[in-house]
Structure 1
Amino acid sequence: MIKTFLIIVIIAIGTWTMAVAQNSDTQYRKPLKEVLETLQKRYGITIKYQEEQVRDKWLNYADWRFRANVDETLQHVLAPLDLKVNKEGDKKYKLKEYEYYRWEVKDGWEYLDELASHYHDKVSWERRKAEIKPELYRALKLSPLPAAPASKPIISGKRRFDGYTVENFALEILPGVYVNGSLYKPAKGKRKMPLVLSPDGHWGGHRYRKDAQIRCAMLAKMGAMAISYDLFAWGESLLQFKPEDHRKSLSITVQTLGAIRILDYVLAHQPVDAARVGICGGSGGGSHAVLMTAMDERITLSIPVVSLSSYFFGGCPCESGLPIHASGGGTNNVELAAMAAPRPQLVISDGKDWTAHMPEHDFPYLQKIYGYYGKPENVANVHLPQDGHDFGYSKRKPVYAFLVRHFGLTDNHVKTTDGEYDESGCTVEEESALYSFGIQGERLPANALHGYENLEKLFQNK
């Protein structure tokens, strides 16, 4: 009887203990949707959200996170769930995923100021550059650089247009991994012509877009070789990888290595003037241009378009998917852009994206760094406050003029009497005409590597 009683007591105590434990685990735990409803009532605000944003999300000790100030409360409530809100008007908010790559303007400026406090002249700045640069290579798993494949580039037939030619290429940059693009050259090719690498951003159509083709054609008509190439897992790279692979960390590595290999090939085998090697890209292509210029001294001129900002690190893994911004104990894109000094650099910004405040703080910082070399005139900013995030004519025009000034391009024959550039002589080809591997990918080499998991194996010991 006593034994049975003890068993019952033990079971009862165990059940009670479990109930108490369960209650203590859950009494301060609430569904996020319920918390948002409470916030709206308590502070008299409206928070817009999609049902899938809050489904199955819970918050521990929610009530303890409330503060007198609504904005501070929202930050305390949402940060543990990697969420944030954007303010859309008086007492109106919209729920968003936390964007690690986007800071408040003042935070970006303060961080840049803190970085700048560690150098004050050319000597201390050069020491800072020497600290950052090797760490960029290590962060990208490119230290040391992998051996270059011995294969020759695949070059398509040449197409002739008004004042320029186009031929497509595929270059093996790792065993079985190819970068594809097109070479735009002057029809009457000069010896030792300038070179302009032309990466692009995430706009639909990428390098096949009308404005991308026009920009490269115009540079060729003015006497430069322009090279347009695919992002990783975009364009013809999709013959080897899936679209979602672009949103994975090695995308930034492959794109950087692709540009390095293109430079290796062109400088060794094309009639290019090594003293006049530029890079010009928009949006994500601008981030790529900044990174390449910081890493590769062979680039002698840089033009990041609608991309550069101290409070925006790039919203895609191809810009910030590996810890390049941890280099040197921490850096940002404006400090990386400063590593171009004293090489000529044109920063183009607009009023409707994260470059909207360029003239106020970030550009004066760049001028200061260029001043360390006695070359403040080598850095310029064209700010277009009424423009948005694109690579339209208003952006291309200063690109052309900057390259005329610094690379000695000739533009008289492509300008109208009122000083505007006439782009009407440029032919916009069908996308398939710019393919290196054929419309169906029928010319893809037999050794082509397929799948991100196989790409990872190439870097597994890095």
Structure 2
Amino acid sequence: MVMAQTFETNYERPVGDLMNDVAQRFGVRFKYNVDTVGRQLPYADFRVRPYSIEETLDNICKYFDWNWWKQSDKLYKIKPYEYPRRHVEEGQQMLNYLSTLYQNKEQWEARRDTLRREVRQRLGLDAFLDSCVLGKPILSKIIRHDGYTTQNICIELTPGQHLFGTIYASTAKGKHALIICPDGHWPMRYRKDEQQRLGTLARMGAVCVDFDLYGWGQSAEEVGEAAHHTSRAHVYQAACGYVLLDYMLTNRKDIDHQRVGVMGGSGGGTHTVLLSLLDNRVTASAPVVHLASHFDGGCPCESGMPVQLSAGGTCEPELAAVMAPRPMLIVSDGGDWTASVPTVEMPYLQRIYGFYGAKEQVRNVHLPNERHDFGPNKRKAVYDFFIDVFHLDRSKLDESKVAILPDEALKTKLK
């Protein structure tokens, strides 16, 4: 016998039954990444808003610390609460709030300086750098290709744990732009599209350096793959970019210190924004398929340390805005969280750049029909940007000239 819903029973119902009723009422389907079996919801039917499925889902999900995500007009996914992920509307509200904090360049720069200081503190970067060994780098033999060279670099950061990367350098004479290239969560930095991108930029006159994510590639051989899903990965990867930038500027004579860039996609975009904020020697930045006001990065290597709580609360576009008025390219697409960039994040960034009379210095290439990758059109956007701001040689733009090396050729032998 089913007990009647009354005040005495808190109008309680099994949440699964209620969700079935909601699906029928609004003509939608639900996919679940949560377990509804045995879950009871008090005041169940009173949580339903007949005029809004999304308010209804808010009322139901928040009781269980769940969240909903709209997949299409007829499909919603129910997932556990995720601290780095929010709805687009929440991102817009955050940017609206942040915009009330500064009305001119002076007010913005006071906020900017606070952000730099507190992000660094919350990340724990200085304490980490103090613990670093930073011994003499191990450099492999230089391999010559068509218009560029590759050379592997290894630097011991903390005892027994190393930064592993590869330098792609132009063979042209003179000083070259430097581009630090944090990697994202695609299959290792040895993959074809990364070699194409860094090799092409090197052929056009740059020196590019990438490096393994913590717990990926050779790093996984030292610390294990599980180490990547820890807060240490966040500070470790930030330190890798910071140490590489400092090493390249300090030790190489072929670098033009006025042309220093950072470029990365997805999780590499997170660390592009972070390095641009931490080191004001960066003169141009290109976060690709990353930037959103409603997503901080879904991996601990991006959000394992609480940098988003800095200065009373912030988000990725505000952290990226620290670049102003220096050139920045935002590459976005219609198939991931960056779909909102043209209408939500770009107006905010243009306002900040407008404080300097430099709105044209922040650019967006939006690819509405593409998905989350670093495909040909995203690479073309990056090439065009660095050709423009770093005066690279467009006549050398030919990905077919880049040699695709086997994985082992891009690894450093420690013994």
TM normalised by structure 2 equals 0.90
SS of the residue corresponding to residue 207 of structure 1 reads coil
* 1:63/1:367 CA distance change after superposition, 3 Å: closer
* 1:46/1:379 CA distance change after superposition, 3 Å: closer
Percent identity reads 40
2:3 aligned residue: none
SS of the residue corresponding to residue 240 of structure 1 reads helix
Aligned-pair Cα RMSD in Å: 2.3
Q: Distance in 1 between matches of 2:145 and 2:72?
A: 52
* 1:338/1:236 CA distance change after superposition, 3 Å: same
Q: 1:427 aligns with which of 385, 403, 409?
A: 403
1:344-423 to 2 correspondence within 5 Å?
Answer: 344-412=327-395, 414=396, 421-423=397-399
1:238-253 to 2 correspondence within 5 Å?
Answer: 238-253=220-235
- TM-superposed CA distance for 1:147, in Å, is 4.9
Note if 1:300 corresponds to 2:280.
no
The one-letter code matched in structure 2 to 1:67 is V
2:130 aligned residue: 146
SS of the residue corresponding to residue 223 of structure 2 reads coil
Note if 1:36 corresponds to 2:16.
yes
Q: 1:115 aligns with which of 91, 98, 102?
A: 98
In the TM superposition, what whole-angstrom CA distance separates every residue of 1:88-147 from its partner, at most 9, and x where no partner exists? 456643322323222221211111011011111111111001111111111111245415
1:309 aligned residue: 292
Q: Distance in 1 between matches of 2:314 and 2:203?
A: 38
Q: 1:223 aligns with which of 205, 222, 234?
A: 205
Q: Distance in 2 between matches of 1:243 and 1:167?
A: 25
2:184 aligned residue: 201
In the TM superposition, what whole-angstrom CA distance separates every residue of 1:168-223 from its partner, at most 9, and x where no partner exists? 111112233211010001124x34311001112111x2311111000000111011
The 8 Å contact of residues 36 and 47 in structure 1, kept in 2 or not, is answered as: no
2:49 aligned residue: 68
The 8 Å contact of residues 12 and 44 in structure 2, kept in 1 or not, is answered as: no
* 1:430/1:28 CA distance change after superposition, 3 Å: farther
In the TM superposition, what whole-angstrom CA distance separates every residue of 1:316-360 from its partner, at most 9, and x where no partner exists? 111111110110111000001100011111111111111112111
1:164 aligned residue: 148
Q: Distance in 1 between matches of 2:338 and 2:408?
A: 34
SS of the residue corresponding to residue 303 of structure 1 reads strand
Larger radius of gyration: 1
- TM-superposed CA distance for 1:75, in Å, is 2.3
* 1:90/1:281 CA distance change after superposition, 3 Å: closer
1:75-154 to 2 correspondence within 5 Å?
Answer: 75-88=58-71, 92-144=75-127, 145-154=129-138
Q: Distance in 1 between matches of 2:125 and 2:46?
A: 44
Note if 1:236 corresponds to 2:218.
yes
* 1:42/1:234 CA distance change after superposition, 3 Å: closer
The 8 Å contact of residues 198 and 280 in structure 1, kept in 2 or not, is answered as: yes
Residue ranges of structure 2 left out of the alignment (5+ in a row): 1-8
Q: Distance in 1 between matches of 2:335 and 2:134?
A: 46
Residue ranges of structure 1 left out of the alignment (5+ in a row): 1-26, 415-420, 438-442, 445-462
1:14 aligned residue: none
Q: 2:35 aligns with which of 42, 51, 54?
A: 54
In the TM superposition, what whole-angstrom CA distance separates every residue of 1:227-276 from its partner, at most 9, and x where no partner exists? 01111111111011222221211211000011111112111111211111
The count of aligned residue pairs is: 402
Q: Distance in 1 between matches of 2:43 and 2:159?
A: 52
The one-letter code matched in structure 1 to 2:269 is G
* 1:121/1:162 CA distance change after superposition, 3 Å: same
TM normalised by structure 1 equals 0.81
Please, which moves more after superposition, 212-221 or 64-73?
Answer: 64-73
Q: Distance in 2 between matches of 1:358 and 1:42?
A: 32
- TM-superposed CA distance for 1:389, in Å, is 1.1
The one-letter code matched in structure 2 to 1:224 is A
The 8 Å contact of residues 260 and 283 in structure 2, kept in 1 or not, is answered as: yes
The one-letter code matched in structure 1 to 2:34 is Q
- TM-superposed CA distance for 1:303, in Å, is 0.3
Q: Distance in 2 between matches of 1:403 and 1:43?
A: 49
Q: Distance in 1 between matches of 2:221 and 2:80?
A: 31
Please, which moves more after superposition, 305-314 or 137-146?
Answer: 137-146
SS of the residue corresponding to residue 53 of structure 1 reads coil
- TM-superposed CA distance for 1:47, in Å, is 5.0
1:276-355 to 2 correspondence within 5 Å?
Answer: 276-355=259-338
Please, which moves more after superposition, 83-92 or 130-139?
Answer: 83-92
The 8 Å contact of residues 29 and 58 in structure 1, kept in 2 or not, is answered as: no
Q: Distance in 1 between matches of 2:245 and 2:306?
A: 24
Please, which moves more after superposition, 65-74 or 246-255?
Answer: 65-74
SS of the residue corresponding to residue 424 of structure 1 reads helix
The 8 Å contact of residues 65 and 77 in structure 1, kept in 2 or not, is answered as: no
2:6 aligned residue: none
Q: Distance in 2 between matches of 1:241 and 1:263?
A: 23
* 1:304/1:29 CA distance change after superposition, 3 Å: same
- TM-superposed CA distance for 1:277, in Å, is 0.8
Q: Distance in 2 between matches of 1:330 and 1:74?
A: 26
The one-letter code matched in structure 2 to 1:66 is R
Q: Distance in 2 between matches of 1:94 and 1:342?
A: 40
Note if 1:213 corresponds to 2:189.
no
1:254-269 to 2 correspondence within 5 Å?
Answer: 254-269=236-251
The one-letter code matched in structure 2 to 1:432 is E
